[in-house]
């Protein structure tokens, strides 16, 4: 692997150029905390023109880029929010043609910052994952995303973009008798995505969505579909009731200090007496626990897997290694779908039928 020696955190630490944070959400909070920890000072906070209304964030008045351009000489702009919308990505890339635009990688969940020290501490595991990947594109994407996390350079990320249609057409290759387990079903968007690939044909669908309000939307969409079960539950490594923080939409998650109780189950419970052929895991940082709770079924059925790799700093290497330990007869692929930052990095695994 050809890994960069650039460090976005070192660049920010050493620069004398004004640093402008672009965004005012949780991502900006995390980046500012890390900057404070490293004694990195910022010049100001900006937002897109439509979101600037004289508000303040972290003690700074939120301003437009044009306001800074009249007074800040050669700024560095740090992306501190996420989007998969084409118009937003295009706008960021347009700004990057005029200014230095970087992403300071912080995890959605957990505390591990993917910096040079973290990379060096886990270099052997990262190298092992690369050796497991089934095609050259996966290896290129894997290397690019690691370089993106370390350097903050957008080019590493955008050079890795591919559409999901390539995965559905060339890797997952659904047939008309799939038994689909949708973990983190949200409002039914991934069920709809799945059905568009199978022309509406399937054997069975089981979908879990933990957030109560979102589950109502899921039920509106899929509640009358044949051979379909919907559960207002979370997935975990055991059957239990856990603390949960709901009403955050896609960001609702299991949290130790959550204000609600959530029933959780495990894949091995759901499919103890029946077969699953396809599992999607996008469960807000609980992917490791979901795999641990599905060891028996994954070993037995070797279902196709579609799993998020971006919630925690360690997910990019820890989850592929865990999956391979559970079921070594997979062909493993990694793809980065259009999103800034790398929040749509997914692992896709299909059974190696010659070896099972």
Domain CATH for 72: 3.40.50.20
Task: List the domain range (segments joined by +) for residue 13.
Answer: 8-158
Strand stretches in 154-258, DSSP E: 179-183, 204-208, 228-231, 234-235, 240-245, 253-254
Q: What is the pLDDT of residue 102?
A: 98
Interval 343-354: pLDDT, tens: 999 999 999 976
Instruction: State the pLDDT at residue 242.
Output: 84
Burial 23-49 (b: 16+ CB within 10 A, else e): bbeebbebbbebbeeeebebbbbbbee
Q: Which residue in 338, 307, 336 sits closest to 320, CA to CA?
A: 307
Domain end position, chosen among 308, 331, 348: 308
Looking at the fold, whether 145 and 241 belong to one and the same domain comes out as no
Residue 148 and residue 172 in one domain: no
Q: Is 307 exposed, middle or buried, given 0-12, 13-18 or 19+ CB atoms closer than 10 A?
A: buried
Q: Are 231 and 255 in contact (CB under 8 A)?
A: no
In this predicted model, what pLDDT tens digit does every residue of 112-129 receive, in sequence order? 999 999 999 999 999 999
109, 250: one domain: no
Exposed (0-12), middle (13-18) or buried (19+): which is 56, by Cβ within 10 Å? exposed
Instruction: Count the domains in the chain.
Output: 2
User: Across all residues in the chain, what is the average pLDDT?
Assistant: 94
Residues 105 and 193 in one domain: no
Residue 342 lies in a domain: no
For 119, the token pair is 């990379």
The domain that holds 285 is classified in CATH as 3.40.50.150
Is the same domain home to 293 and 191? yes
pTM: 0.93
Residues 209 and 111 in one domain: no
- Using the predicted structure, report yes or no on whether residue 257 has a pLDDT greater than 80: no
Q: How far apart are CA 95 and CA 81, in angstroms?
A: 15
pLDDT higher than 90, residue 24:
yes
Any idea which residue has 């040079």 for tokens?
116
The rounded percent of the chain whose pLDDT value lies above 70 is 95
The mean pLDDT of 145-165, rounded to a whole number, is 98
pLDDT score recorded for residue 329: 97
Please determine, for residue 248, whether its predicted confidence score (pLDDT) is greater than 70. Answer: no
> Which of 104, 134, 158 represents a domain boundary (last residue)?
158
Residue with the bigger pLDDT between 54 and 203: it is 203
Residue 260's pLDDT band, with cuts at 50, 70 and 90, is confident
Inform me whether the pLDDT recorded for 142 exceeds 80: yes
């Amino acid at each position: 692997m050809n890994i960069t020696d650039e460090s976005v955190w070192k660049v920010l630490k050493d620069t004398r150029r004004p640093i402008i944070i672009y965004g005012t959400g949780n991502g900006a909070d995390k980046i500012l905390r890390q900057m404070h920890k490293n004694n990195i000072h910022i010049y100001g906070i900006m937002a897109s023109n439509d979101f600037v209304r004289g508000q303040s964030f972290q003690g700074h008045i939120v301003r437009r880029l044009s306001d800074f351009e009249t007074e800040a000489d050669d700024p560095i702009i740090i992306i501190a929010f996420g989007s998969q919308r084409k118009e937003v990505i295009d706008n960021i890339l347009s700004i990057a043609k005029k200014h230095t635009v970087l992403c300071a990688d912080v995890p959605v969940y957990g505390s591990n910052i993917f910096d040079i020290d973290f990379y060096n501490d886990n270099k052997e595991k990262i190298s092992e994952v690369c050796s497991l990947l089934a095609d050259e594109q996966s290896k290129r994407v894997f290397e690019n995303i690691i370089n993106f996390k370390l350097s903050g350079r957008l080019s590493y990320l955008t050079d890795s973009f591919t559409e999901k249609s390539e995965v559905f057409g060339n890797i997952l290759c659904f047939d008309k008798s799939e038994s689909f387990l949708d973990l983190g079903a949200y409002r039914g968007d991934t069920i709809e995505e799945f059905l568009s690939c199978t022309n509406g044909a399937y054997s069975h669908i089981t979908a879990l969505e933990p957030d109560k309000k979102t589950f109502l939307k899921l039920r509106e969409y899929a509640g009358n579909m044949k051979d379909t079960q919907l559960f207002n539950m979370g997935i975990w490594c055991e059957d239990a009731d856990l603390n949960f923080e709901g009403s955050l939409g896609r960001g609702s998650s299991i949290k130790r200090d959550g204000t609600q109780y959530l029933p959780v189950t495990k894949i091995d419970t759901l499919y103890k007496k029946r077969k699953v052929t396809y599992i999607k895991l996008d469960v807000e940082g609980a992917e490791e626990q979901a795999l641990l709770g599905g060891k028996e079924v994954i070993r037995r059925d070797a279902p196709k897997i579609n799993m998020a790799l971006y919630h925690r700093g360690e997910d990019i290497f820890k989850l592929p290694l865990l999956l391979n330990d559970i079921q070594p007869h997979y062909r493993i692929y990694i793809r980065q779908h259009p999103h800034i930052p790398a929040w749509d990095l997914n692992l896709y695994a299909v059974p190696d039928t010659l070896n099972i």
